[in-house]
Amino acid sequence: MTEPLPSLAVVIPAAGTGKRMLSEVPKQYLTLNGLTVIEQTINKFIELPFVHSIILALSADDTVFSTLSIAHHPKVKTVIGGKERADSVLSGIRFASELDLSWVMVHDAARPCVLERDIIELYHQCVAQQSAGILAVRVKDTMKRAKPDSVSVDHTVPRTDLWHALTPQCSDIKSLETALVSQLQDGLVNSAVTDEASALELNNKRVLLVASSARNIKITEPDDLELAQLFLQSEE
């Protein structure tokens, strides 16, 4: 019989303003198949047996989340996010580090189409290999690097071994907290560290690439909402 997976914390950065979405409200509060985006995302984690706590990093002026029934679920906690995504993540990690847990997953509130089976597989692989890891999708298209500040091709980027990094991104809490703090202190957060794996890589940590369904999109621009609706409807 395989050992049960250790309990973990899930940090969900949800303090963004969704500027690229061009919507009236922050994209995490847009309606998606009858629920808000953030509720759809939380629902992908809330029933998983190894999820101990779900920590939402919210904007200081967020007045919506507390009105949702999910906000009162015993697993759900909230912290105040920060200026950049990494600041919000670190705020959640600091709360998680007080919970006497070893592992954490960080998942964008804007990724409601993640599949539970992919979350479970990611965690199985990280625990089995005692390594950080991320859900990712191999690049399928030919990739071009543009000339600086232009829209003409500079060169083609070889796509062998090229992956799209998605979330959740999973790590032991101590390594991730150390990595994020050191990058914040080095002032790299705003440029080089756009995901947790970037910080871990800069701290010479191994990061597994675990194949994810390509439907695990991040709702970023207006067209993404319709695509997310189709993906969620096909899960019903």
> Under the criterion CB under 6 A, does residue 59 sit at the interface with ligand LQXTBERG?
no
**Residue that has been written with the tokens 């779900």 in this structure:** 54
Which helix (H) or strand (E) segment holds residue 11: the answer is strand 8-14
Which of ligand LQXTBERG, ligand CTP, none sits in contact with 195, Cβ below 5 to 8 A by type? ligand LQXTBERG
d(CA 117, CA 59): 30
What's 49's DSSP letter? T
Would you say 125 or 190 has its CB closer to ligand CTP?
190
> Under the criterion CB under 6 A, does residue 195 sit at the interface with ligand LQXTBERG?
yes
> Under the criterion CB under 6 A, does residue 194 sit at the interface with ligand LQXTBERG?
yes
Please give the torsion angle defined by the CA atoms of residues 206, 212, 218 and 219, in that order, rounded to the nearest 10 degrees: -170
> Under the criterion CB under 6 A, does residue 166 sit at the interface with ligand LQXTBERG?
yes
Contacts of 44 (CB under 8 A, 6+ apart): 112, 114, 115, 116, 119
Which of ligand CTP, ligand LQXTBERG, none sits in contact with 166, Cβ below 5 to 8 A by type? ligand LQXTBERG
Q: Which of 70, 99, 165, 202 binds ligand LQXTBERG (CB under 6 A)?
A: 165
DSSP secondary structure string for all residues of 76-114: EEEEE--SSHHHHHHHHHHHHTTTT-SEEEE--TT-TT-
> Rounded to the nearest whole angstrom, what is the least distance from the CB of residue 2 to ligand CTP in the complex?
33
Q: For residue 144, report the phi and psi dihedrals to the nearest 5 degrees.
A: -115, 140
Order of strands, edge to edge, in the sheet holding 163-172? Answer: 76-80, 51-58, 8-14, 103-106, 163-172, 132-138, 207-211
Binding interface with ligand CTP (CB under 6 A):
13-20, 28, 57, 81-85, 88, 108-110, 218, 220
> Rounded to the nearest whole angstrom, what is the least distance from the CB of residue 224 to ligand CTP in the complex?
10
Would you say 106 or 200 has its CB closer to ligand CTP?
106
Q: Which stretch binds ligand LQXTBERG (CB under 6 A): 29-37, 61-69, 165-173, 179-187?
A: 165-173
> Under the criterion CB under 6 A, does residue 27 sit at the interface with ligand LQXTBERG?
no
> Under the criterion CB under 6 A, does residue 167 sit at the interface with ligand LQXTBERG?
yes
Contacts of 236 (CB under 8 A, 6+ apart): none
Q: For residue 60, report the phi and psi dihedrals to the nearest 5 degrees.
A: -60, -25
Binding site for ligand LQXTBERG (CB under 6 A): 85, 108, 165-167, 194-195, 218
